Amino acid sequence: MEKALLVGLNLNNTPLFTQSMEELAALAEACNMEVVSAVEQTLPAANKAFYIGTGKVEEVREKAEETGAEVIVFDNALSPSQLRNLQKELKLPILDRTTLILEIFATRAKTREAKLQVETAKLQYMLPRLVGLHEALSRQGGGSGLSNKGAGEKKLELDRRKIEHRLSELRKELEEVSRERDTQRKRRLRTGEFQVALVGYTNAGKSTIMNQMVDLYVQDEEKKVLEKDMLFATLETTVRKIVGQDKRSFLLSDTVGFISNLPHNLIKAFRSTLEEVKNADLLLQVVDFSDSHYKEHMAVTEETLKELEAAHIPMMIVYNKADLKEDLEFSLPKVKEDSIYMSAKNKKHIEALVKNIFHMSKAGYVDCEMLIPFSEGQIVSYLQKQAVIKETVYESQGTRLFLSLSQADFGRYRKFCVNEKM
């Protein structure tokens, strides 16, 4: 495990600086680094040459020698010239927040699409920084995920032309994968299923909610997603069909978590994956209510959704981990029209959440009465599986159904409707 020295620049005494440094430490630990110390400075603006002041550079060098630091991690993205200058002065590998996030994504990517997206983002970010990064990327040992791991790192040691050629190849591969994903997405849209997407800050509990719903309503262990108490445990978008006791259902998708200062290249690279968010009928913004910075995390999520052009979609706020909140003045779960306070680990709370989702999805259903001829028995069989049948009456003219069904199915079988209630 490498020893890392953190360096933070507090611009104009921003109130979020402490939170940002805590998050940087968590990112470093997620890269299998041991944080040995931190150096901080307050300035009205970043130094163009070194990011921090020239005097502070000397202090960082001394602190690195004192603590035995093997790598220095800066709290924000460094420009190519800042990276080169710092590398020259400090004689140690220099990383920044963006690089750490990219490396975490690289080690967590499992599917072909995620691996292609991460490699593209890494190469695009590191291409103009090759000179400064060369020493950091070619060092031996470590275990931070930056040495001897993955095709991206090796390619960064090749010349610029080869990297640009690789980027061209990646774009073509991603276009192919994106077409496949679009086909799957259009197929789901044609079914008319109500679509729900889990969004929110990384490590807020989205995957826990997904797995609890799978436990209760799918009961298939293989349908579960990776669930760990760490940053960016989930990178791939996973879609599962959740069917309630009354046969109503919705499609639930789990997406990559957001974080403050999430590299723009990553949002751009993962845009095709995050299309699930744009196509959702309802967003579940999962919030770690026990985190003292949860309001700031909600603001980051809302900003990211704006960038994804998904801010207009109806949203339910899921205040997760509310059981860990001290001095809670109400019992759980507490359900409101567009929010719920709960614990994702409590199955009763999950049931309350699903009930609220179905309540909000009612706009997508139609209550009606249908008379279906006996010659169309396959339609009755289909509706018995896909709709909510309230009453069935067998008459001489056919089967009379009093039911609630999706807008898509209503449109498909509207000719059999004898009485409808929107």
Tell whether 402 is covered by a domain: yes
5, β-bridge pairs: 37, 72
Q: Supply the CATH number for residue 385's domain.
A: 3.30.70.240
Report, as an integer, the average pLDDT of 405-409: 76
Tell whether 259 is covered by a domain: yes
Residue 148 has pLDDT above 70, yes or no: no
Structure tokens at 409: 């199915």
Tell whether 169 is covered by a domain: no
395, β-bridge pairs: 398
406, β-bridge pairs: 365
Same domain, 14 and 119: yes
Cβ contact 277:310 at 8 Å: yes
Same domain, 222 and 354: yes
Q: Supply the CATH number for residue 28's domain.
A: 3.40.50.11060
Same domain, 277 and 398: no
Where do the DSSP E strands lie in 302-376?
A: 315-320, 334-335, 339-341, 365-372
pLDDT tens digit string along 84-103? 899 899 999 999 998 888 88
Same domain, 222 and 93: no
Tell whether 19 is covered by a domain: yes
pLDDT tens digit string along 199-212? 999 889 998 999 89
Same domain, 139 and 222: no
Same domain, 270 and 321: yes
414: which DSSP letter?
A: G
Residue 344 has pLDDT above 80, yes or no: yes
Same domain, 207 and 301: yes
d(CA 403, CA 366): 8
Give the model's pLDDT for residue 28: 93
Q: What are phi and psi of 210, to 5 degrees?
A: -55, -50
Residue 111 has pLDDT above 60, yes or no: yes
The structure tokens 């996973």 sit at 238
Give the model's pLDDT for residue 318: 97
Same domain, 123 and 201: no
Number of domains in the chain: 3
Same domain, 151 and 58: yes
Q: Supply the CATH number for residue 197's domain.
A: 3.40.50.300
Same domain, 201 and 227: yes
Tell whether 36 is covered by a domain: yes
Tell whether 186 is covered by a domain: no
261-270, 287-296, 387-396, 402-411: least confidently modelled range: 261-270
Residue 251 belongs to domain spanning: 192-362
The CA–CA distances, whole Å, from 319 to 82, 156, 224, 254, 306 equal 40, 42, 22, 17, 21
Residue 136 has pLDDT above 60, yes or no: no
Percent of the chain with pLDDT strictly greater than 70: 83
Tell whether 184 is covered by a domain: no
Taking the whole predicted model, whether its pTM rises above 0.75 is answered as no
75: which DSSP letter?
A: S
Same domain, 322 and 390: no
**Confidence at 35, pLDDT banded by 50, 70, 90:** very high
Last residue within a domain, chosen from 362, 393, 408: 362
Give the model's pLDDT for residue 409: 80
Residue 150 has pLDDT above 70, yes or no: no
Tell whether 187 is covered by a domain: no
The structure tokens 């998050």 sit at 23
Q: Is 363 helix (H, G, I), strand (E, B) or coil?
A: helix
Q: Are strands 2-11 and 33-43 parallel, antiparallel or unpaired?
A: parallel
Same domain, 29 and 151: yes
Peptide bond into 333 cis (omega under 30): yes
Summary mean pLDDT of the chain: 84
For 87, half-sphere exposure in the C-beta direction (CA atoms, 13 angstrom radius) is 20
pLDDT tens digit string along 355-376? 999 888 766 678 899 999 999 9
Higher pLDDT, 108 or 225: 108
Give the model's pLDDT for residue 421: 61
Last residue within a domain, chosen from 327, 362, 397: 362
Give the model's pLDDT for residue 40: 96
